[in-house]
Amino acid sequence: MKLLKSAKIFDGENFVEGYSILVNRGVIEDLVPKEDELYISKIAEVMDFGDAIVAPGFIDTHTHMLNYGINQETSIEKFETFKEISEFIKEFISQNDLPYYIFTDFDESKWKDVKTPTRSDLDKVSEKPIFLRRICGHMGIGNTSFIKLLSEKVDLNAVKYDAETGIFLEEIPLKIHSIFPYSEDFQEQALLKAQDIFLKNGITTIHEIGTYRELRLLQKLRREGKLRIRVRFYISDTTPYNFEYTGIESGLGDQLLKFQGLKYFADGSVGGESALFSFPYGRRKSQGLWLLKENIEEEFKKALELNLQIAIHAIGNLAIKRVLNIIEEIGSGESFRIEHFEFPEDEDIEKAKNLKVKISVQPNFIYNWGQENGMYESKLGKFFVRNNPLKKFIKAGLEFAFGTDAMPPSPMIGIKGVTLHPLCEERLTIEEALKYFTKKCAVLTQEESLLGEIKRGYLADFVIVDNNLEEIKATIVNGEVLSSGRNN
């Protein structure tokens, strides 16, 4: 047995003082009053965290751990100008002889020279095949050599592609690592590195969105004892018809690794100008893209028949409205999730609540792009203030929770985001922010009696945070300290 001592406990709902946590075989045995600590400490290993706060481990309800790991080597997020990126690419190419080069995470909205590069810009950097994927994952740019290489693998007439600029939307950037896959060994090392970073950020459970190939790799790590973070997996490159005779349904697995459901895209991103709004916006003055295929209702009905949860990406107000109309037509919303749900109309917040649809929100988007003079304002004008109306969600009784989308995988940044919303009336308290990164997250996978709270019988997953809520001190999964310190 172990006894966790600290100045405060956040139990998933409130801060509590005067108690320690008794853990036995990976499960919370009890909350022990301070006056009983001396007796219990004689029969249990004491872990004293001093003036820190012990909270339930963070649950990231929408993320991409494998992609995050892969991108660590070639991320260009930190650079502030295209010139700096060009120099980095040239240096990287000089040191790495590869058949092609894929660089990720550029965010031109934060550059000093704000200008989306084009095919001709990349041609000047190198004649070797180069592809740059935007941080949102929904837009990318290739140089002439890369586009020629890509055309040998993909029919360019069948994807969203502008030949003059070399800009691709949706299919190609989203599937770039599947079209040009890394070796299984490379992907395994990327997953393990990313897992360490997620744990350092206090994340103990993730809702991972990926491919069949990643699921097989996670199963391998599970068998070999290398998987240390809990994973609830959603597959994004399939249909329910592939599951028809398998008997596989949502929740299959164990407490460490479970298959959870299917992921679909209704629209794109604001930064890539492919999120679907009811009005034209951005540089292209387009409303964005609708990505769900015709008659998708039949596919969704088949998924529900097979007990598969459905997660649908929808950011723009029109995409959200159309998705909810589809769910309403089907008649049952309890097995649906909407990912992001950033710009809903008031009537659609109410509709989502009435349909019992669950929502995964990314509060770090507020921190990164949703404040005054941020990227959302530059693209959407005054409409930007309507992003992520969290207080409205709470008042409506909407079932929602937080995730990071690995941008970056830091709930602490998301917690800052909800306290900095451009509308004061939409800001959350620290207690509310913590609740929606812990207790409420478990609801999305129907694990509210197992995860997300510090309560007797719950799994012993904890994050230890300093008393100013600024630094992760340690991360505990199943009662074992797996990480200390933060590295995001």
| Residue 408, preceding peptide bond in cis (omega within 30° of 0) | yes
Rounded-to-integer distance, Cα 111 and Cα 81, Å: 5
Does 94 score more than 90 pLDDT?
Answer: yes
Give the side-chain half-sphere CA count within 13 A for 221.
25
Residue 60 β-bridge partners: 206
Q: What is the pLDDT of residues 151-207, one digit of tens each?
A: 999 999 999 999 999 999 999 999 999 899 889 999 999 999 999 999 999 999 999
Query: What's the pLDDT band for 488 if we cut at 50, 70, 90?
Result: very low
Residue 427 β-bridge partners: none
**393-343-366 Cα angle (round to 5):** 80
Rounded-to-integer distance, Cα 191 and Cα 381, Å: 38
- Using DSSP, state whether 84 is helix, strand or coil: helix
pLDDT of 114: 62
Query: What's the whole-number mean pLDDT along residues 212-241?
Result: 96
| Residues sharing a CB contact under 8 Å with residue 115, sequence separation 6 or more, in sequence order | 82, 108
% of the chain surpassing 90 pLDDT: 91
Locate 151 and state its tokens.
């055309």
| Residue labelled with tokens 């003059």 | 164
Mean pLDDT of the chain: 95
Q: What is the pLDDT of residues 385-394, one digit of tens each?
A: 999 999 999 9
Query: What's the whole-number mean pLDDT along residues 279-298?
Result: 96
> What's this model's pTM, rounded to 2 decimal places?
0.93
Least confident range of 23-27, 134-138, 439-443, 452-456 = 134-138
% of the chain surpassing 70 pLDDT: 99
Rounded-to-integer distance, Cα 305 and Cα 54, Å: 41
Rounded-to-integer distance, Cα 259 and Cα 119, Å: 40
Query: What's the whole-number mean pLDDT along residues 56-69?
Result: 98
Query: Nearest CA to 230 among 256, 196, 250, 208?
Result: 256
Query: What's the pLDDT band for 487 if we cut at 50, 70, 90?
Result: very low
Show the domains of the chain with their CATH numbers.
Answer: 1-57+453-488 (2.30.40.10), 67-179 (3.10.310.70), 184-451 (3.20.20.140)
Does 486 score more than 60 pLDDT?
Answer: no
Rounded-to-integer distance, Cα 66 and Cα 131, Å: 19
pLDDT of 485: 61
Does 36 score more than 70 pLDDT?
Answer: yes
Contact 170, 274 (CB under 8 A): yes
